[in-house]
Every structure is written in C-alpha cells, then in structure tokens.
Chain A
Amino acid sequence: MAAAIQRRHRRRFPTSLIARHAVINVFLVIIVLPLIWVLLMSVKSLPESYSTNFWPRQFDFSHYGFVLTRIQTLPQNMFNSVFVTLATVAITTFCAILGGYALVHVKLPGRMLLIWLLIASLFFPTRLLSLISIYEIQRQLGLLNTVVGLIFPYVTLNLAVSVLIMRGIFEQLPHELVEASRMDGCGPWRTLFLVLLPLLLNGIVVVAMVNFVGVWGEYLLAITLTNDQATRTLPVVLASAHSGMGQWAYPRIAAVYVIAITPGIIIFALFQRLYFKGLTEGAIKL
C-alpha cells in the first residue's frame, strides 16, 4: 500500500512541481518587472528615455547627481520626508508600546471597551472623514503648511493597528515574567522598560515598518495641509512631477523615484527575519 502511494507520488511529482514553481515565478516576474523598468529608466540617456526600449543602449548614471544637486527644493523635500517619518515612527511606536502593555499586563478599567473601539476604528473610513476638520484644527493651531504639523495627524494614521499589534505581542510574553518582576518589587513602569522591552523587538520592527510605509509615502494629508514647494514631502513632489520635460525629464523622475523607494526596501531587507517573525506572532492575529 505504502509502496503504491510512493510510486504514484513519484510519478506525479515532477510535472506538478514544475508547474507550481512556474506559476509562482510568473507572479514574481509581474512583481519585479515594473521596479526593474523604473530602475532602468533612471539610467537611460535623455534622448533614449522617449523611446520604448526596455534595456538601455547606453547607461547614463548622471541623473542621480543631477536631481540631488540641481533641482532646487528637492533636498529640502527629502529632508521633510525623513524628518516627518522618523518623528512619526518614534512617537507611534512609543504610544503603541505603552498602549499594548496597558491592554494586556496592567489592570485597567474599561479595557475591553478600548479594545473594541480600536478594532471598530479599523472598519471605519476615519482618515477620509476626519480630513475636513483636521484642516481646520491645523489652521487654528497654526500648523497649516508646516512640516512639524504633519506629524500629529500622521501619528493617528496607523495608531490603532500599532496598538493592536503590540497587544498581540504582549499576549505572547509569559505572564510569569511579569509576576516575577512584580515580586521583585518592580512597578509596572520598571517592569515594562527593564524586563519586557528587550523581548518586544519583533513587534517593534513590525510596528515601525507599518508606520514607516504609511507615513513615508503619505499623500492625501500632505497635499491638503501643505502648500509651498518647500514644505512638501517627496510623494507629493513625485505625484506632481510628470511633465517629462526639463528638470523633470523621465530619467530624472525615475532617479527620484528610485531614491524614494530604496530606504523601505533596504530596511525591509535588513529586518526581514524579525519582520516575518513579528508578523506571524502578533500582526496576523490582530
């Protein structure tokens, strides 16, 4: 019996195996092709960029230098993006760690209500609906058209998800650890920062990543709340640069584009092991 199964298995094995890998690889090509196209576009010469060649006839790497030095506001725009992103990721991660801890390991009145509120907010089009009044609030606070002002609404973009992810991570931690730390006389704050923090790395990576991706490319709030070229962030600049002429010739836009998407891919490559681990531990269970 077992031998028969073995034989059947072996006979069917190669074709299904090859077909499976072929299908997966078709998807991989579809994923990668647009990115390779934009990468190649960024090293095409100016005249060639108007042709439909996929592979450049000659490589021209000067566009990266050009966009970084010759487009006036671009360094400022990049700085804006980096600043807003770092600040938002740091603040949101901090809020999420404290919030997740409070929802799991600390006795808290009304905890279930808070959790339900957070989950409910994921299904509601909050970002869209709050926009009209966020504009007004920012105006009253004098934060319209400022880079710092963007941080406040940005923190809320993924805050609910971040708190829920951290809650998932805290639930994985052994309760005995918290108890032991309490027996030793640590208060809830010291328990969190001295005992638990090193164990949260996976979760922190996922939360930071989610917020990085959300904020680094945020468009709707940025285009609504900022007005000057100098206060704009990179995605807004990129979305408005499609003329294909002058300083925004196609290879130059492509170079800015490659610069814009590279940090995310590098961070992901560096932390992917922790990211996948954190993803399966906390994020998916939400």
Chain B
Amino acid sequence: MATVTSRVASAARTWRSTYRMADYANLLFLVPATFFFVGWQIYPIIRVFVLSFTDYKYLERNPPNFVGLQNYINALNDPLFHVGLLRAFAFTAAFVPLTILIPLVLAVLIDRVTTPWLSSFYRIVLLIPAVIPGPLVFVLWKWLFDFQIGPVNTILVDWLGIFTRQTAPQWLGGTPLSLPAVIIMEVWWGLGYHTMFFLAGLAAIPKDLSEQARIDGASEWQLFWRVIVPRLLPILSILVVLRFGTAMSVIDEYLIFGGFQRTSPTYTWTVYMYDLAFRIGDWLQGYAAAIGWLGALIMMVFVVGMLYVFRSRD
C-alpha cells in the first residue's frame, strides 16, 4: 500500500513539474475538434438564436429588422406549431417505450445463451441494421410499406389473409397509419443497437447473484424485476433520455416518408421549421429560427426534468 501511494505521489510530482509550464500549450490538442465544433455547431446555433429575434427572410433583399419577441409570440399562437409539437409527442410516447422494452427482453434472453458461437452469431445478426445508415433504412422501409409491391402488405394479404388487395392498409402518404409505420421501422432499426447496450449492462451483473436468487426460490419473473431491472436502471434511464431527445427532433424519416403534406401525422414541428426555412415563400428563416429554438427549449425542459428524476441517489 505504501509503495503504491508513494509511486502515485512521485508520479504526480513529475507530472506537475514537467507539464505545468506547458499547460496552455496542451490546448493545441483541442484545436482540431474545437475548429469544427465552433465553426459548424456552436456558431450556427448562436446565429440561429440571434436570427430568431429578427424578421429575416433569406430570399428578400432588404436587411432584416429586429422584432424582439414577436416571432416567439407568433409561434406560441401558431396552430401548425401546436399540432406539430403534439405529433412529435405522440410519436415519442409510442416509440420510446417500444424501442427500449423490446431490446431489454431480447437482451435478457440472449444473455442466457451459453453456447459461445451461437451467442456471438445472434449478436452479429442483430447488429446488422445498426451498420445501415438511418436514411437508407428509411428508404428501404418506405418501399416495404408500399401499397402495391410492398412485402408488408403482401404478407398481410397473401400470407396471412387478414386483408384483401382492396382493403389492405395504406401505410404511406400521410394517412393515420404513417405514424405506426415510422414507429415500426424505428424499432427495427434500433433493435440490435439497444440490445447491445443492455447486454453490456447484463454482463456486469455477477452471475452468482441470479444463481443465488434461483436457489432461494425466486421465479424468473421476480429475478427479472428484483435483480436485473434495478441493476440496469442507469443504462435504462440514460437511454430513455437520449431516445426522447432523438425522437422529439426526428426529421429525416418524416421528410422521406411523408414529405411536406401538412395534414400528415409526420408533419411535426421539425418539418414545419424546415418548410419555413427552405421552402415557403421568401424562406422565413427568422420565424423558423424561433420555431426551432422554442421546440428545443420545450424539449430541454423535459430532458432536464427526466435527468432530475433519474439522478443517481448515492
């Protein structure tokens, strides 16, 4: 013990003596990352914030005027923004539980597979969707949900016989089913990735803990709720918050699935913001900026709230 502390102390001493003078030179390591961060992330966000207080229209020649909080007041009274937020919340409320609970169950099942080659085979196959980029997944599923040639309807009509060709569900094109269609696709895409998260968490639970619980007569159900879930809680809660954030700000899949059709359940506040900034009229980027910031702030209220509820209590 003594040798360890003295070694640490001497290490700390040399560290300090060698590098104190060079502390600020060490900032050089952060220069590449900072260049991109500041240039294409921090500066644009600040600029969007400033824009949100102006009536800036991209295609208009006149210089923008400062309008104070007018954009925010307009946004709060804009029925399209309300509907857009509600649609995003509806998607989030359905998507987040599914995309977390299904992988949780799957991970518990795979964790018990004791044959090594089978266990790694399962993991590899499950992770295939995770190495397909999102937009390519969306393009594929848009095709799968196609009314005419899509295999989803083929399975429902020809294989299962639940519907006929005439009554088969219209998944795309802004029908109410567009939302479940996006949810099914997202759960498919995230299945393997989230399962890996939980498998890593499960690997950290000592095996004799569950063995002991079994010997003490615990049922599998009790084991799951009393032993496994409490130990996965940190991973579970961080995933809930992260997925909430991504689900509320989803845009690519809505653009690919639903386009800019205002009645579609995929026309959320994010699509509305994009529509305003790059399509409608003179590109009302000042107003779009206010919509974006307002949506982000509302999201942050929920994120901070959840982080507070999930904070570690030890």
Residues of A within 8 A of B (CB): 5, 20-21, 23-24, 27-28, 30-35, 37-38, 49-50, 52, 54, 91, 94-96, 98-99, 101-102, 106-109, 114, 121-137, 152-153, 155-156, 159-160, 163, 175-176, 179, 182-183, 188, 209, 213-220, 223-224, 235, 238-239, 242, 244, 250, 253, 257, 260-261, 264-265, 267-269, 272, 276, 279-280, 284, 286
Contacts and interface: CB of A to CB of B under 8 A. Distances in A.
A228 to B, nearest CB: 17
Interface in B20-47: 20, 22-24, 26-27, 29-30, 32-33, 36-37, 39-41, 43-45, 47
Given A125-B249, A214-B133, A264-B133, A155 B140 contact: no
B123 to A, nearest CB: 7
Contact of A130 (B18, B44, B242): B44
Given A30-B188, A31-B188, A219-B255, 6 more contacts: A34-B151, A124-B245, A125-B299, A130-B48, A156-B36, A216-B133
Interface stretch (B67-75, B79-87, B93-101, B191-199): B191-199
9 shortest interchain CB distances as A-B pairs: A217-B133, A219-B135, A102-B29, A125-B249, A130-B44, A133-B44, A133-B47, A95-B33, A264-B131
A268 to B, nearest CB: 4
Interface in B55-74: 58
Interface of B is mostly: helix
A107 B36 contact: no
B141 to A, nearest CB: 7
B309 interface: no
28 contacts: A30-B188, A31-B191, A32-B128, A34-B188, A37-B144, A38-B140, A52-B154, A91-B36, A95-B32, A98-B33, A99-B30, A99-B33, A107-B16, A107-B19, A122-B242, A125-B249, A130-B44, A132-B44, A132-B277, A132-B289, A135-B277, A136-B58, A214-B133, A235-B136, A269-B124, A272-B127, A284-B201, A284-B235
Contacts, number: 254
B179 to A, nearest CB: 19
Interface in B100-143: 106, 109-110, 112-113, 122-143
B128 A35 contact: yes
A35 B127 CA distance: 13
A175 B11 contact: yes
Interface string B288-302: 110011011001100
Given A23-B109, A132-B277, A224-B278, A155 B40 contact: yes
B160 interface: no
Interface string B6-19: 00000100111011
A54 to B, nearest CB: 7
A267 B277 contact: no
A268 B131 contact: yes
Nearest to A114: B30
B215 interface: yes
B236 interface: no
Nearest to B278: A224
A31 B14 contact: no
A34 B144 contact: yes
A217 B134 contact: yes
B273 interface: yes
B61 to A, nearest CB: 15
Contacts of B26: 102, 106-108, 188
A286 B292 CA distance: 28
A31 B194 CA distance: 14
A23 to B, nearest CB: 6
B151 A37 contact: yes
A265 B19 CA distance: 44
A272 B106 CA distance: 20
Contacts of B92: none
Interface string B181-205: 0000000100110001100110100
Nearest to B105: A23
B149 A106 contact: no
Contact of B122 (A24, A257, A280): A24
Contacts of A219: 134-135, 138, 252, 255-256
A257 B123 CA distance: 24
B53 interface: no
B29 A129 contact: no
Given A183-B14, A280-B203, A123 B303 contact: yes
Nearest to A263: B131
A156 B249 contact: no
Given A20-B109, A108-B27, A188-B26, A130 B40 contact: yes
A220 B255 contact: yes
